[in-house]
Amino acid sequence: MKAVIGLGNPGLKYSYTKHNIGFRLLDTLVNKGKYSYRDDFRGKVAEGRINDTRIFFLKPYTFMNLSGLAVKELVSYYKIPEQNILVIHDDMDLPLGKLRLRAKGSAGGHNGLKSIISELGTQDFWRLKIGVGRPQEGCDVINHVLSPFNKEEERILAEVMDKAYQAVNLWLEDKANEAMNKFN
């Protein structure tokens, strides 16, 4: 079994913000896979299969800073090992349009990751970081991540989301090294 977690905040006002990029990619994966969400594990969860592997797609509705609560419920219930968990999230340390797939690492200041690390008691899970860039001079971090993408950023985002979709599918097929070589 594997779990793919997209991080974000529930509610329409957050839908197109930089912080919800994980939700957006998860929705693409679920829609293209023709899976359906159901309410469970403090969020929305969909289930699918690739070959003999059962896959869970989770959008925690606990808000970003408590994402670990939902993740822990899902992975504890199904006994999914941490090396079979992929968390998709925004990353301000990467420029817009850049991806980074990693097998483990620190939270790097990301509150959603901090929550997951705290709840799981490990940093040894996969993450796909999608760059949203740093805030402009005079804009604070919270306003930056909770603001929507402008038209030019959405154009760049469309390209990176296609690459991110491909990277997740390679990871699901146990081709993480290929994904890292191609998209990092």
Catalytic residue numbers read 19
The CA distance from 90 to 96, in Å, is: 10
The CA distance from 82 to 123, in Å, is: 9
Pairing, β 126-131 against β 99-102: antiparallel
First to last CA, the chain: 25
Tokens of 160: 């990176």
Cβ atoms of residues 21 and 132 within 8 Å: yes
Q: Is the dihedral of CA 87, 92, 94, 95 positive or negative?
A: positive
